[in-house]
Structure 1
Amino acid sequence: MGILLGILVLSFLIIIHELGHFLVAKAFKVKVNEFSLFMGPKLFSFQKGETVYSLRLIPLGGYVKMEGEEEESEDERAYNKKPVGVRAAIIAAGPIMNIVIALVIAFIMMAQTGFNTTQVKTVLPGSVAENAGIQVGDTLEKYNGKTIYQVGDLEVFAYPLTNESVDLQYERNGEKQKVNITPNREQDGYMLGFTPKDTANIDGSESNVVAEVTDKSPADEAGLKAGDKIVKLNGTEIKTRRDISKIVDQSEKKEITITVDRAGKIQDLKPITPVARKTSEWKAIGVEFEYSKGGFINTLKASINYTISTSRTIYYSIGWLFTQTVHLSDLSGPVGITSVISDVVRLSPSLMDKVINLLSMTAMISINLGLVNLIPFPALDGSKLVLLLIEKIRKKALNPEKEAMITMVGFVLLIVLLVYVTYNDVLKKILHL
């Protein structure tokens, strides 16, 4: 069921993307020959006006086929006959549609669940924040000069940092104030690197059963697998996740031997050393934030902030790839994304949690799809916009053969990247079977 939901989410978002192209093309009277839901062999179709609407076999994606888009056409309503500005609007409409739908989803989600503000609710005693003079009611605004749109931004900003000090700007009674602080990022306990099957029950039943193992974690190194039931740590009997946390924290950096019940067979895994769990940046600073729910304007503002924040994080992540702060092997393709959606739905304890988490994942992936498409890489919408800008500057279109060659090269590179990330996704799944 989760895998099916993952496929449907990806298909929905790609269709939304193509719908953006379609609606703007129609608005500017461009002739659209076909609007297709999904890819592959055609299952059935019907024609309304000049456009054929089709449903195809493979439930992934879709496309809009405009007259004069891929080859020259003399039709006055052809895409190639339209001014540069019109063509740019049509191309940009797909990514913009993805960002708009993410904003709508975020609004629906936050209207239901509420959201954290950046106003300080609590200053933890003896914390860095207390020593710096930060008070309850202060609103955090900037971290090292970067605007804080939502609380999660603190974790993003701190991700590449270790023990560095930071400049924190906050607002108090309408006045801006700045402090330089060094967050206390000492480890917040230790961990093995797995997600328990059941975290919903108060008694912790089945929370010693493994639902998922984190890649490259100590648990992964030990050979722990989804479905394993952890029955002992260093010979001590385990019944709940609390038992696991207690023993792991006490052991600190000493080796631990995990004993599991795997399909009825008791076995010891390879001894491993727990890793330190990094302290959340808000806790390292020493503050907790107000929570808000209700009000159309406040919810809309929060959903806009979420969209801006997520967009910025995506571009940070791309930059981290080049600086090797994150590795190319961490990228996920359709298989990995579908798997993540499936896991998020499967691990959510209640129906409402499943819906909210699915909405959250859908909004984040939609923003990803929109922004990545705006990157000026051959075959993506961003490169088409760059070519249109060049055409506007040169006062004439690029040679169709050269444009086709650029698109083909980009397409081949994208296919290579897709094959690579799909290989990574499949390999990760195989290793965790």
Structure 2
Amino acid sequence: MQSVLAIILVLGVLIFFHELGHFLVARLFKIGVPVFALGFGPKLFGFQYGDTEYRLCAVPLGGYVKLAGESAQDELGEGIPPESSFSLRPPWQRILVVAAGPVFNFVLAVVIYWGLFWAHGQQELLPVVGQVLEDSPAQAADLRDGDMVLSVNGQDIRYWSELAERIQQSEGQTMLLTVQRENRVVDVSAQPRVEVRQNLFGEDIKVAMLGITASGQTQSIALGPGTALIAGAEQTWTIVVLTVQGIIKLIERIIPADNIGGPILIAQLVSEQASEGLTNLLALTALISINLGLLNLLPIPVLDGGHILFYTIETITGKPLNPRMQEIAYKIGIAFLIALMTFAVFNDIHRFFK
């Protein structure tokens, strides 16, 4: 029951923020919004406030904001003035309304990470050696389990990430490490070994290795509201960059297509993180929100990115794309999304029964 509730809440929050972006920017430009809906299908609950009907629908796999005069063929309806029509607005306003949904997904991620960093601080691995691997440069240099690296070539080291960066920058050149070993400080000379390893995307790259693993000891760095907000924005940007790189690697077939996941995988992940606690669940929500924002920005007709593409073409050419071409593009886009969703669900089922 807890898992089902967590899945509904996470999806609800993600959908709400996405549609809220469209809604707020549309209202900012005084564009009519007859309907704001969470979910699809039959209406379970609804109420009228102002000129907008707010609905909760039966199928919680999306949502929509119905805009007045969404297309040139739509009738505005009784009592709706022509100036509130979406289709009569200049392309740049329509682009901003459409782009606001994905942008709000990124904003949600920043807000979540901001709250997490402010509440819990930023966790950093300490540069303490957990294990020295057999036949490694670290073993040859007499590095030992429990050594804390204080500096590399005279440069202070505070966290494991800084140590890893210095090792990579060495490109296999000899390094002078100052370490704290129990109650004394000793200098150790070590020469990293350059090896071919696979990166996050499965590509072969050359890396310098000492042959040590982290002990897992961490330090919590308390952050104020301002620094926590900066850290949240940086974390969001890092994940955006990694996700875009992952999409490119998928297209280049460097990452196998069976890594694509669908709603079943999302439900499994939400269920697992809900059992781990609120912090893990919020972090996963931020991650899914970023992926949802990027997915919607893809230049595929029927997605927000497809609409942005059409309005951008209209801005450049000075006239809307031919309606017949738009209709064909929408059909291709729907077919592509159905095929992608079917493939993702197939992967989910295959992964579940592996």
Taking structure 2 as the reference length, the TM-score comes to: 0.75
2:327 counterpart of 1:404: yes
Aligned residues of 1:12 and 1:61 also touching (Cα < 8 A): no
Superposition pairs for residues 245-260 of structure 1, below 5 Å? none
Question: Are the structure 2 counterparts of residues 396 and 159 from structure 1 closer, same or farther at C-alpha, using a change threshold of 3 Å?
Answer: closer
Aligned residues of 1:122 and 1:289 also touching (Cα < 8 A): no
Match of 2:173? none
2:295 counterpart letter in structure 1:
V
2:42 counterpart of 1:41: yes
In the alignment, which of 113, 135, 145 is matched to residue 156 of structure 2? 135
Match of 1:338? 267
Distance across 2 between alignment mates of 1:156 and 1:379 = 37
In the alignment, which of 342, 348, 354 is matched to residue 425 of structure 1? 348
In the alignment, which of 91, 94, 97 is matched to residue 90 of structure 1? 97
Distance across 2 between alignment mates of 1:116 and 1:46 = 45
Q: Secondary structure at the match of 2:319?
A: coil
Aligned residues of 2:122 and 2:223 also touching (Cα < 8 A): no
RMSD of Structure 2 on Structure 1 (CA): 3.1
Aligned residues of 1:37 and 1:55 also touching (Cα < 8 A): yes
Question: Are the structure 2 counterparts of residues 28 and 317 from structure 1 closer, same or farther at C-alpha, using a change threshold of 3 Å?
Answer: same
In the alignment, which of 288, 313, 330 is matched to residue 390 of structure 1? 313
2:337 counterpart of 1:414: yes
2:237 counterpart of 1:308: yes
Aligned residues between the structures: 301
Aligned residues of 2:72 and 2:88 also touching (Cα < 8 A): no
Structure 1 residue 333, shift from structure 2 partner = 0.8
Structure 1 residue 79, shift from structure 2 partner = 0.6
Aligned residues of 2:37 and 2:65 also touching (Cα < 8 A): yes
Aligned residues of 1:156 and 1:313 also touching (Cα < 8 A): no
2:235 counterpart letter in structure 1:
Y
Q: Deviations along 1:84-118, whole A, 9 cap, x unmatched?
A: 1110110110001010011111111112221136x
| Seq. identity, % | 33
Superposition pairs for residues 131-170 of structure 1, below 5 Å? 134-137=155-158, 140=162, 160=202, 162=204, 164-165=206-207
5+ residue gaps, structure 1, are 146-154, 166-181, 189-278, 349-353
The structure where helix makes up a greater share of residues is: 2
2:265 counterpart of 1:322: no
Match of 1:183? 209
Superposition pairs for residues 93-242 of structure 1, below 5 Å? 93-116=100-123, 121-122=126-127, 124=129, 134-137=155-158, 140=162, 160=202, 162=204, 164-165=206-207, 182-184=208-210
Aligned residues of 2:198 and 2:205 also touching (Cα < 8 A): no
Distance across 1 between alignment mates of 2:202 and 2:31 = 47
Distance across 1 between alignment mates of 2:203 and 2:155 = 22
5+ residue gaps, structure 2, are 77-81, 142-148, 170-196
Aligned residues of 1:35 and 1:54 also touching (Cα < 8 A): yes
Aligned residues of 2:263 and 2:345 also touching (Cα < 8 A): yes
Question: Are the structure 2 counterparts of residues 368 and 142 from structure 1 closer, same or farther at C-alpha, using a change threshold of 3 Å?
Answer: farther
Q: Deviations along 1:273-331, whole A, 9 cap, x unmatched?
A: xxxxxx6xxx5xx9987541232222122111111111111111112212333211111
Match of 1:22? 23
- Structure 1 segments, 4+ long, off by >4 Å, are 123-134, 137-145, 155-159, 286-290
